[in-house]
Chains A and B, each alone.
Chain A
Amino acid sequence: MISRRNWIRYSGAGVAASFIPTSHASQGRVVVIGGGFAGASVARELRRLNNALSVSLIEANAIYTACPLSNMVVGGHRKISQQQFSYAALSADGVNVIHQPAVDVDPERHLVTLRDGNTLNYEKLILAPGIDLDWQALQGYDKTAAELLPHAWKAGPQTTLLRDQLRSMREGGLVVMSVPKSPYRCPPGPYERASLIAGYLKQNNPRAKVLILDSKDSFSKKPLFLSAWQSLYGDIIEWQGESDGATVTAVNAENRTVSTDFETVQADVANIIPPQKAGKIAHLAGVTDRSGWCPIEPVTFSSTLQPDVHVIGDAAIANAMPKSAFAANAQAKLCAVQVTRLLNGESPVHGKLINTCYSLVAPDYGISVAGVYQPGEKIWTEIDGAGGVSPADASRETRAVEAAYAQRWFDNLTTQVFA
């Protein structure tokens, strides 16, 4: 009770009304940490479901830079500004948006500490911290190295750095990509990126090559990618998997070399996508397990490790559901329903979720993977007989339709979440 009285009221524009105490039973305090597709969606959705709820969103950045379609920025087809969104619409919806990092969570006292030392009390905490890159996982790859060998796996300056390195690469140069083992954010993302880099090279640096050094043997939509690479880009892209000994074990940023157990490759541009884990605040909150990710009760996305904490988006272990923006948004909408019901003393709902991920092999060549998922007692499973990838024999017209859908999906989702 004392901690509740200490709860800090942040005055965001137009949100004061939502903080006026009322006698409604449905009034509750929800704090969301992380303003990506999961966090921004759940914050907005909670207010839509029950505008008596006090919802605070803690997000360090004032502008969000979205990852989906950011490979089109790398390939020179989109501007980074087309990936960027503000939180103004969330504030207008009565979400109390706080632009600073959360530095600690005390699950016992239901307390979040912000960088400036202020604290927020919650009845329900929703963690949507996304990923952190694991700077310990790959020898020679730390934050400083990433300034020379970009990961570009969080969209923003890293995305434009990779784009600019491609543009200034010598004629006939070699682009090396390092791809981690699963799980990681956006399973087909590295292969979409390789495609769009190859497209850029074909146009602008036709003797240059892309070498993908992969830590696994199979990947999302592999047959579709391999066949499209062959027909669109000939021999520009070479892919090597784990069985080929391609697992990257070390990099040297100064020399721009990438090493496996078998060889050291001299790159002209190296895009190192390192292993990942749940965002730091999830670790501080004590909701991660030894895998580095967050185990959840499937139906509610509540943490199995701490009470009154839910985890959604890339940080959560959602089993068959991939770490994608679509899944993050779908999980957020479900979690908002569950949190609203739990605060009202109602039982959670068993609902199915969908995922659809488009990949652009070229701006006019799209392929997709879809799935329908149901929560079991322990895990989210994919429903047999549903889902799957685009047909191998689809026409170029169908590929073009899916490419257009990829862009319209992005527009729809970002409108729903940020506009």
Chain B
Amino acid sequence: MQATEPDPATAVSVQACYGCHARPGTEANGLVSFSARSALEITNKLKAYRSGELTSTVMNRISRGYSPAELESIAAHMAELTANEAPCSR
């Protein structure tokens, strides 16, 4: 249930991510598309950006605006949107 109905705040946060990243199901001309499909992969990456273990251009600065729990919810929702849209977009 939680997977199909994310809490609305998470849904709002994820939409902000699509300011840069291609929205699943649209032409993949975004900054970086989500090749990392699983929620766990996305979570690990976001947390690594947050801790500074992984460096990037803006993602370190942006990920620090969220708690680890928020990053987990965001990742779960993103992975789900990506999985749902993938068959149509490829």
Q: Which B residues touch A411, using CB under 8 A?
A: 29
B64–A385 touching, CB < 8 Å: yes
B12–A354 touching, CB < 8 Å: no
B68 CB to closest chain A CB, in angstroms?
14
Number of chain B interface residues as a range = 20 to 34
Q: How far is the CA of A349 from the CA of B15 in the complex (A)?
A: 13
B89 CB to closest chain A CB, in angstroms?
13
| B30, closest chain A residue (CB) | A412
B29–A408 touching, CB < 8 Å: yes
A412–B16 touching, CB < 8 Å: no
Q: Which B residues touch A370, using CB under 8 A?
A: 58, 61-62
For A, the interface residue count at a CB cutoff of 8 angstroms equals 37
Main SS at interface, chain B: loop
Which of A132-140, A266-274, A280-288, A398-406 touches B?
A398-406
Q: Which A residues touch B30, using CB under 8 A?
A: 408, 412
Q: How many A-B residue pairs have CB under 8 A?
A: 105
A351–B19 touching, CB < 8 Å: no
Instruction: Say yes or no for A13: interface residue by CB 8 A criterion.
Output: no
List B1-60 residues whose CB lies under 8 Å from chain A.
Answer: 8-9, 11-13, 15-23, 26-27, 29-31, 57-58
Q: Produce 1/0 per residue, A379-419, CB < 8 A to B.
A: 00001011110100000001001100100110111011001
Q: Which of A334, A341, A386 has the most CB of B within 10 A?
A: A386
Q: How far is the CA of A387 from the CA of B9 in the complex (A)?
A: 20
Contact of A368 among B15, B17, B58 (CB under 8 A): B58
18 sample A-B contacts, Cβ–Cβ < 8 Å, listed by A number:
A330-B19, A333-B16, A334-B12, A334-B15, A349-B8, A352-B9, A352-B12, A354-B62, A356-B58, A370-B58, A371-B65, A385-B65, A387-B62, A405-B31, A405-B58, A409-B31, A415-B27, A415-B29
* Chain B interfacial positions (CB closer than 8 Å to A): 8-9, 11-13, 15-23, 26-27, 29-31, 57-58, 61-66
